[in-house]
Structure 1
Amino acid sequence: MSEIVAQTVDRCRAAGLRRTKALEELITTLIESQRPMTLGELATSPRMRDQCDKATVFRLLQRLAEKGIARRLGLHERAAYFTLLIPGRHADYLICTECGSIESVKAPCPVHELEDEIRRKTGFKNLYHELEFFGTCPACA
């Protein structure tokens, strides 16, 4: 088990979630993915399809999101995408308002300096931010 998977499983246990093979496989799948994944993609992924059904994957994702370990992205009327929130790792996203596709922003994040200033001025700990940009992707334009 990779170090990031082990750390994430430890965060899950500290948050009160039971360590199961399905949970470990879901975490591994999300970590190995180069982008956020939909419920359908996760449920039919090679690691998950023999572990549990789609409803179980959904319940696991809901629990991870409730505990702040995963994040739901995307438009509410479109398929939601899920990604893990890993301490020290950060991504901002572009979301198409037409087809609902999602991709990481491949540009430096302009908010890190602001985040540092807010942390210094307010004394907040564990401060983080999330950015989602909405527009029409080239395929839909």
Structure 2
Amino acid sequence: MSKHHHHHHDGCVRLEPEKLLRDSMERARESGLRRTKALEDVLSILIHACQPLTLADIAESEHLGSGADKATVYRLLMKLEERTLIRRLGLHDRAAYYTMILPGEHNDYLICNDCGRIEKLDISCPVQALEKQIAKKSGFKKLYHELEFFGQCPDCAQ
């Protein structure tokens, strides 16, 4: 692991992760996914992480109690992404990161083209006002957006 990937820090404690997990399992089931231990593990890992994780992060997590292999985890991630329960970030499959899409929670990200590091954009999102405007003009309901900014992180820019 390079120094860029500061994973597994317990910096974030979500409110009611168990409830989020129950709700997410319910959404998964409604979208046609079978309730499996592996599915529950993957959702739980993503919910508790509070930050985007790679396939390896998830597949190698000690919280993957189901013992699902990497291929199984990958297939689950694909299905969850198709059903918009999770969002895939990054440039391509090999370096993709996955993060939960949770009601009322929104993040935009900065992604380094060189080392693949991903961080949350921590200025208030400039697009939210625009979103309201678009909704009003277009008549679209339940608008949401996903923003990713690509560039060079300070370490790689040196």
Pairwise same-fold verdict (TM > 0.5): yes
Equivalent runs, 1:1-141 vs 2, <5 Å: 2-48=18-64, 50-76=66-92, 78-141=94-157
- For 2:107, the aligned partner's letter is A
RMSD: 1.4
Cα distance in 1, alignment partners of residues 66 and 42 from structure 2: 12
User: Secondary structure of 1:103's partner?
Assistant: strand
Cα distance in 2, alignment partners of residues 10 and 89 from structure 1: 18
Runs of 4+ in structure 1 deviating by more than 4 angstroms, as ranges, are none
Cα distance in 2, alignment partners of residues 74 and 8 from structure 1: 23
Cα distance in 1, alignment partners of residues 151 and 48 from structure 2: 27
Cα distance in 2, alignment partners of residues 49 and 106 from structure 1: 33
- For 1:126, the aligned partner's letter is K
Conservation of the 8 A alpha-carbon contact between 1:78 and 1:100: no
Q: Percent identity?
A: 52
Conservation of the 8 A alpha-carbon contact between 1:93 and 1:132: yes
Shift of 1:119: 1.2
Cα distance in 2, alignment partners of residues 50 and 10 from structure 1: 19
Shift of 1:77: 6.8
Conservation of the 8 A alpha-carbon contact between 2:41 and 2:65: no
Cα distance in 2, alignment partners of residues 96 and 77 from structure 1: 15
Q: Structure 2 regions of 5+ residues with no counterpart?
A: 1-16
Conservation of the 8 A alpha-carbon contact between 1:95 and 1:102: yes
Shift of 1:34: 2.8
Q: Structure 1 regions of 5+ residues with no counterpart?
A: none
Aligned residues between the structures: 141
